[in-house]
Amino acid sequence: MNDGDNMDGILVIHKEAGMTSHDVVAQLRRILHTKKIGHSGTLDPQATGVLLVLVGKACKALPYLEDTDKEYVATMRLGERRDTDDIWGEIVETKTITPISDLKGILDTFQGKIKQLPPMISSVKVNGKKLYEYARNHEAVERPLRDATIYEIEVLDEAEMKFRVACSSGTYIRTLCVDAAEKSGNLGCMSSLVRTKVGRFELKDAVTIDEVKEGKVHFHTLKEVFDGYRQIAYEPIQDVYHGKKISLDCEESEVMIVHGEDVVAVYKKERGRQYRCARGLW
């Protein structure tokens, strides 16, 4: 556990409630004795579930993991609106609850491509300033609608208003709760959130911080993480390490160049069979 400089790969962490994603990274830096750690896809402090943590050379792959699809299990509460759109914020309005007779029917209307108003506590930038900074200063600002895609949505418990949603990166589940409540004639907010999947990694693949402390560390390779991309073993590999343009007989606009068990670079098509190095991962 002390040879942190030789640690490379992706850790699938089960983040617990009450800690920020930054807290997770800070703790892992101490446990693994390495500064080269980052994370993909922030989870709110009170949310739990899958957080991908990149260690060592894997940090270079961060831009290619930020748009990874996600899956969540959430619950919503009716009868109140809060300034954070979840139960951890301040109540700003209450209203008598109108019982929902068809939660599935309401949630199904959000399947496909949708527009969402980002929460005021999000880090979306407007005029160079993050929304949560406006909220902190009690400043009003017009929020831009954001595109999101809901691939699947399923009611798990009608009474608890618990549902599962598979969605694109950048989807706000708290906003989905607010919008679904509004569609039913209610005020509402999110009351719990568990991220159950990021890309191919599920909650069952994840380990807690305490388990990492006990030495239960499994680093997933970039080869595993990028299994959705075309992976090509190219020779001479030195051309790739030198960042040279190469010729490939394939149609994909973006490919991963592999050498042995390692993904060493991302190459993008320029024209015809010519590809250029977009990012070295060695």
Which residues are known catalytic residues?
A: 44
The alpha-helical segments, DSSP class H, found in 137-268 are 173-183, 209-213, 222-225, 237-241
CA angle 69, 156, 118 (to 5 degrees): 45
User: DSSP secondary-structure letter at 69?
Assistant: -
- How far apart CA 147 and CA 172 sit, in angstroms, is 10
Q: Are the CB atoms for 154 and 76 separated by under 8 Å?
A: no
Q: Which two tokens stand for residue 204?
A: 């069952």
Q: Are the CB atoms for 263 and 256 separated by under 8 Å?
A: yes
CA angle 242, 246, 250 (to 5 degrees): 140
End-to-end CA distance of the chain: 22
- Residue 127 burial (CB count, 10 A): 7
CA distances from residue 5 to 32, 225, 264 in whole angstroms, order as listed: 9, 21, 18
- How far apart CA 156 and CA 97 sit, in angstroms, is 21
- How far apart CA 269 and CA 263 sit, in angstroms, is 17
Residue among 89, 91, 86 nearest 74 (CA) = 86
Element housing 134 (H / E):
helix 131-136
